[in-house]
Amino acid sequence: MLPSSTSLWQFLERQVAAVLASYGYREIRMPILEMTELFKRSIGEVTDIVEKEMYTFEDRNGESLTLRPEGTAGCVRAGMEHGLLHNQIQRLWYQGPMFRHERPQKGRYRQFHQIGVETYGMQGPDIDAEVILLSARIWRALGISDLELQVNTLGTPRERADYRDELVRYFEAHSDQLDDDSQRRLRTNPLRILDSKNPAMRPMLDGAPTLMGHLGEASRAHFAFVCEILERAEVSYVVNPRLVRGLDYYSRTVFEWVTDKLGAQGTVCAGGRYDGLVEQLGGKSVPAVGFAMGLERLVALLETLDPAAAKVSTDLYLVLLGDTAMREGLIVAEQLRNGLPGVEVLCNCGGGGMKAQFKRADRSGARYALVLGDDEIANNTIVVKPLRTDEQQVAITRDDVVEQLRGRLQGDADQSAEKM
Ligand code: HAM
């Protein structure tokens, strides 16, 4: 990520952090390396991630470590180790790089970044609804308006096992239409066949039985509650019975936010409930719900929108002519930063003639150049030259410069607010 794109990243991270804070979520920072076993036991041995995408190696003690492919497993591991999960309510979030050895393409990278949310200790559908509403608010805060929310329920492990049997029977009856990958999945992870992107299999998949028919009363009520809250909060959604997710730990609610603006890699955020995972990893049973969003994909979306709030440029550029000005300039810049908190002041360093320095000032995007040369130092003044308007430059007494600039910068800000 080069400096030309990091302002957009910072905008994204700022907006998301503010929304998360407004819902009372607390940040957790987890290590990037974990024991390989953790991911095998949580994500599932026969998932794409564990079978072929992990960056796994032995350390000097011969222990197998893996660069985390996602954050949920590590969050549960850390939560268990530090007593955050049992008999407690937690609303957590994290951000950072994740690693998957996938085939790189637009929107899919081997190192990518997520902001994730994980909640613990809440059994009811209210928290499922809350995390979805929270994600919807994040899109509003970012100015992203045309994502599609897809939701589904995977039922309980028991309900899913019943369904799995029926599904396997259906696929066996249509085995001539299964591609090689699906033939293999038929034995290992038949639900994932539903997720296949192979267009030749579409008609057969469209006719496959759905899980809805195998749901018990409690699972139905759970899902109905989530849907009701989404409707009441005016968050539109579609129920996608084929949404199964690529990680094994989910139960009941699953969801994805999808865009058609990014080509094949259109899922910008995904998650759901994973009640069985804590127990599966050796803890006492703790209900859990979470999601993670892919920051590269969101940044790519934001690039198509070009949000003004993400733009950063310098406010003031100090042009320093001569040796005395070079010394004095650093002190003036400090005084400006003391008096004008939040204002970006770039002090010319590295010398250069007037022309070169004005070129740098222009390239920095500064609104004003402040010029200090021998004359100004002798008169105790500084020249303020607007760079983005036709206004004339003026010489201002050094003692008044902070006050004057405060007024001008405020005036500029008011004007641009009026325009919006
Ligand atoms: P996931 O669906 O594997 O879920 O990833 C979540 C999001 O990360 C995806 O929707 C996508 O935006 C982004 N993503 C995944 N792989 C890549 C990649 N190779 N390049 C760029 N972006 C990518 C999880 O990771 C779960 N831990 C989410 C979760 C949290 N479920 C419950 N809690």
How high is the pLDDT of residue 420? 59
Q: Which residues have any ligand 1 atom within 6 Å of their CB?
A: 70-72, 100, 102, 108-109, 112, 114, 116, 118, 246-247, 267-272, 274, 290-294, 296-297
Q: Indicate the SS3 state at residue 195.
A: helix
Classify residue 62: in a domain, yes or no: yes
- 137 Cα–ligand 1 center, Å: 19
How high is the pLDDT of residue 187? 86
- 184 Cα–ligand 1 center, Å: 24
How high is the pLDDT of residue 169? 95
For 248-389, where are the alpha helices, taking DSSP H only? 277-280, 295-305, 323-339, 354-364, 374-379
Q: Whose CA is nearest to atom 11 of ligand 1?
A: 294
How high is the pLDDT of residue 246? 79
Element (H, E) at 84: none
Q: Indicate the SS3 state at residue 1.
A: coil
* Domains identified in the chain, total number: 2
Q: Whose CA is nearest to atom 29 of ligand 1?
A: 291
State mean pLDDT over 242-257.
Answer: 91
Residues 389 and 255 in one domain: no
Looking at 261, 280, 307, which one is the last position of a domain? 307
Q: What is the pTM of this model?
A: 0.91
Q: Are 93 and 25 in contact (CB under 8 A)?
A: yes
Lowest mean pLDDT among 142-156, 255-269, 295-309, 333-347: 295-309
Residues 238 and 366 in one domain: no
Could you report the per-residue pLDDT of 4-29, keeping only the tens digit for each?
Answer: 889 999 999 999 999 999 999 999 99
- 33 Cα–ligand 1 center, Å: 17
Above 80 in pLDDT, residue 348?
yes
Lowest mean pLDDT among 126-130, 171-175, 245-249: 245-249
Can you read off the two tokens belonging to residue 64?
């197998």
* pLDDT tier at 346, thresholds 50, 70, 90: very high
Q: Which atom of ligand 1 is nearest to the CA of 271?
A: 31
Q: Which atom of ligand 1 is nearest to the CA of 102?
A: 19
Above 90 in pLDDT, residue 47?
no
* Candidate from 76, 109, 114 with most ligand 1 atoms within 8 A of CB, to mutate: 114
Residues 393 and 246 in one domain: no
Above 90 in pLDDT, residue 307?
no
Above 70 in pLDDT, residue 39?
yes
Could you report the per-residue pLDDT of 137-172, keeping only the tens digit for each?
Answer: 999 999 999 999 999 999 999 999 999 999 999 999
- 211 Cα–ligand 1 center, Å: 23
Return d(Cα 72, Cα 270) in angstroms, integer. Answer: 12
Residues 340 and 413 in one domain: yes
The CATH number linked to 115 is 3.30.930.10
